[in-house]
């Protein structure tokens, strides 16, 4: 487990609050929903929606990613290009805390995350 229990609980609490605030209304969650997952040292925000090719299959398009760099004590902020490659979020490529990442994604000043 890459994060300590305290770090994991803190990250999950912040992300749970963000997701709950940004999730669509319950009546449309079958068509589009929002979630996150922790993968190693990364937190990935993604949508959950039916695939365009086959509506019986759910797809999870990525919205944003933050990767913790323990040696530098910061989070790298990334967004996914149309090529599906992750790119550094140039306006603010790193933040000190997960709350900084949440703030950047929520504001989306350059329309990189939500389009």
DSSP 47-111: EEEE-SS-TTSEE--EEEEEEEETTTTEEEEEEE-TTS-EEE-TTS-EESSHHHHHHHHHH-TTS
Is pLDDT above 70 for 1? no
**pLDDT tens for each residue of 44-99:** 999 999 999 999 999 999 999 999 999 999 999 999 999 999 999 999 999 999 99
- Residue 53's pLDDT is what? 92
Predicted structure pTM score: 0.94
Q: What residue ranges do the domains of the chain occupy?
A: 5-107
The span from the CA of 21 to the CA of 47, in Å, is 14
Helix (H) or strand (E) holding 44: strand 42-50
> CB within 8 A of 111, min separation 6: which ones?
none
Q: CA-CA distances (angstroms) from residue 78 to 42, 62, 69, 92, 93?
A: 10, 11, 13, 10, 7
**pLDDT tens for each residue of 6-49:** 999 999 999 999 999 999 999 999 999 999 999 999 999 999 99
- Residue 115's pLDDT is what? 87
């Amino acid at each position: 487990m890459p994060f300590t229990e305290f770090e994991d609980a803190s990250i999950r609490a912040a992300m749970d609050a963000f997701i709950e605030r940004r999730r669509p209304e319950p009546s449309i969650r079958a068509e589009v929903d929002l979630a996150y997952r922790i993968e190693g040292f990364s937190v990935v925000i993604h949508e959950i929606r039916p695939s365009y090719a086959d509506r019986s299959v759910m797809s999870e398009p990525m919205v944003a990613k933050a990767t913790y760099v323990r040696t530098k004590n910061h989070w790298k902020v990334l967004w996914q290009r149309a090529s599906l490659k992750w790119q550094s979020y140039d306006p603010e490529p790193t933040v000190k805390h997960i709350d900084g990442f949440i703030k950047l994604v929520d504001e989306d000043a350059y329309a990189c995350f939500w389009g």
